A and B are shown apart, each in its own frame.
Chain A
């Protein structure tokens, strides 16, 4: 089986990648500023809604119902799209999906396609695959464009260029955008204007557009994309051919269900009451908009994820990125340390499941990239219990490891000690004896792996008298 491009080739395991990112003080400052701003705005936007918790539960219920009968709803969707003049394609993995898009683009005679920001196409590495096939993909979302022109990788689901500040963006534009004025300033307005001029020509000349889907309605076959810049609407209406790549979990049963998600999504992601542009289309309409519509239904590890009763809740995700913005780990390490288009807490549970390869060390390191503080679950608009899935996937990663690994042996030895109060008390006494070597009551240097702790923290030593010893001496009569 070909490698699943949901993770990036050559990225080390999380702790190693994070260590590099942590050394970049500009990155940390960019991230702290950006995540704290959006975090506070989200809290305010959510606070305005009196029945937020009920909305969350409704979102959770709709998604779970859809996932429980995914086969039925997908067939309904296919029938509805087809009856409205669209063409449905099924893709098991990235390679199949990319091949279909390339074939369609070539058939339309396009050597250039414009793209609406889409996580599904990023997940399958579509731009790179098209490039190999001689078709240039042009990202039209501002942040995606910054990443693309900077020959960079995304670091956030909603704001892929969140790790860049204004002056970095100006540099990228000046170097990579031929029509950018020589005196381009780093004012947001000037940067947006430069991007606008650059993109306008592309919108007007492109024959083919590629999008993802925020939602698809099973009973009508309608596809919905929500966005903030209007670039999406240009792509969705101007070209003759529209190709939508959509993960098979993105559908909802009826149009009415959108009511719930159109409240949950904008407040959670951009902290807006309503997103500026909501585009919806159903098949093709003669004489209006794209005259050819292709929907590619992408599996790429989703069926495998669905088969896991605990892990499958990750498929509820509506890609709002609220969990990234509150995550203390993401805030310090940035998204690229996760080595995947899905960073942050949701990436830590979604990526290893989509990769579905227990021998992939990088993916297996992701569920450990969390302190289990639970802030992600608290903000998730569809109530994905991310800490629960994290510990579940940790157990899966441990099950794949040798029982003779140093960690497994240490854990087993500790469990054996804890399982026997006499051994436990003996270990306490041994610790107390060792503590006499550190009269200050703490140590500043422990041998490996304790050195990982004492690099920045002192370690307290066991007390000379444990509580149980004190209890036995002073209170034993009242007990056992």
Chain B
């Protein structure tokens, strides 16, 4: 499958592959365009995408806040929802990490789904073997590598490989990229002042790049940083990696989206 990397981006490396989309509750509710972008992108690459409608939330917020019984209940549900799919793809490093790292430790949940779970950039690069997805995005972009993608999943260079292959993009390195943005789920509320202090340093780094768009593989971190950037009226947009990769010359991303 890795040979597909060198083929033309218009080829369909995944011809007919059946993929289940785990949209995540946050993206489903607040950023539906990102989930649609994942569908567009995967279909463009030849996948057959399915969206089991009974999916809701992976339980990460409950787990990380200490509510293990609730988390286990939600994890067991997701296990059933995605039963039978050989590949489940999520546009979220932290939700994918929840399934991959935490589910096996929850009573009665097991490792089955963990083995079939992919974060979007992992799925594209490792399973489909593509780094050039035929995207076009003529904007100045900087990339924040989100903590769970970086350290729990170890997605490494994959998102950057994908971004570098985007036509028209002006990709700028983010200073102190590996520093946490301060979101951390309920941390942002429980320790709001500390979280805000972390956020202001992250925003300063983003603004120093002069980027028009900040991207990441997780809408939760983008919600946090974007919420700060919006409050300061910086004009910098936050946009999920999937939205950039789905953008093409025929159907480009517009600021109004």
Contacts and interface: CB of A to CB of B under 8 A. Distances in A.
Contact of B62 (A370, A415, A450, A479): A415
Contacts of A462: 29-30
Interface in B13-43: 23, 25, 27-33, 35-36, 39
Given A369-B191, A442-B230, A467 B70 contact: no
Interface stretch (B50-58, B116-124, B157-165): B50-58
A466 B32 contact: yes
Contacts of A444: 231
Given A372-B147, A391-B63, A415 B29 contact: no
Given A371-B147, A444-B231, A472-B53, A463 B30 contact: yes
A8 interface: no
A22 interface: yes
A470 B188 contact: no
A470 B61 CA distance: 25
**Which of A375, A411, A465 is most buried by chain B, counting CB atoms within 10 A of its CB?**
A411
Interface in A353-411: 368-375, 377-378, 391, 394-399, 407-408, 411
Contacts of A471: 51, 53
B187 A419 contact: no
Contact of B70 (A15, A373, A412): A412
Interface string B42-76: 00000010111111110101111111101001100
Interface of chain B: mostly helix, strand, loop or mixed = helix
Interface residues of A, number: 65
Contacts of B151: 373-375, 377-378
B226 interface: yes
B152 interface: yes
B198 A332 contact: yes
B207 interface: no
Given A333-B194, A374-B152, A475 B51 contact: yes
Contacts of A369: 191, 194
B237 interface: no
Contacts of B57: 418, 424
Given A463-B30, A466-B29, A368 B190 contact: yes
Contacts of A466: 28-29, 32
B144 interface: no
A456 interface: yes
B182 to A, nearest CB: 6
Nearest to A412: B70
A465 B33 CA distance: 10
B189 A452 contact: yes
Given A391-B66, A411-B70, A428-B29, A457 B51 contact: no
Contacts of B198: 328-329, 332, 371
B65 A373 contact: no
What 10 A-B pairs have minimum CB-CB distances, sorted nearest first?
A371-B184, A457-B227, A394-B66, A398-B66, A415-B70, A373-B180, A467-B32, A374-B151, A373-B147, A467-B35
Interface of B: 23, 25, 27-33, 35-36, 39, 48, 50-57, 59, 61-68, 70, 73-74, 77, 147-148, 150-152, 178-180, 182-200, 223-224, 226-228, 230-231
20 contacts: A14-B191, A15-B191, A328-B198, A329-B194, A332-B198, A370-B184, A371-B183, A375-B178, A391-B63, A398-B66, A398-B68, A415-B67, A418-B25, A419-B73, A442-B230, A455-B196, A456-B231, A460-B223, A467-B23, A468-B51
Interface of A: 14-15, 18-19, 22, 28, 328-329, 332-333, 368-375, 377-378, 391, 394-399, 407-408, 411-412, 414-415, 418-419, 421, 424, 428, 431, 442, 444, 449-450, 452-453, 455-463, 465-468, 470-472, 475, 478-480
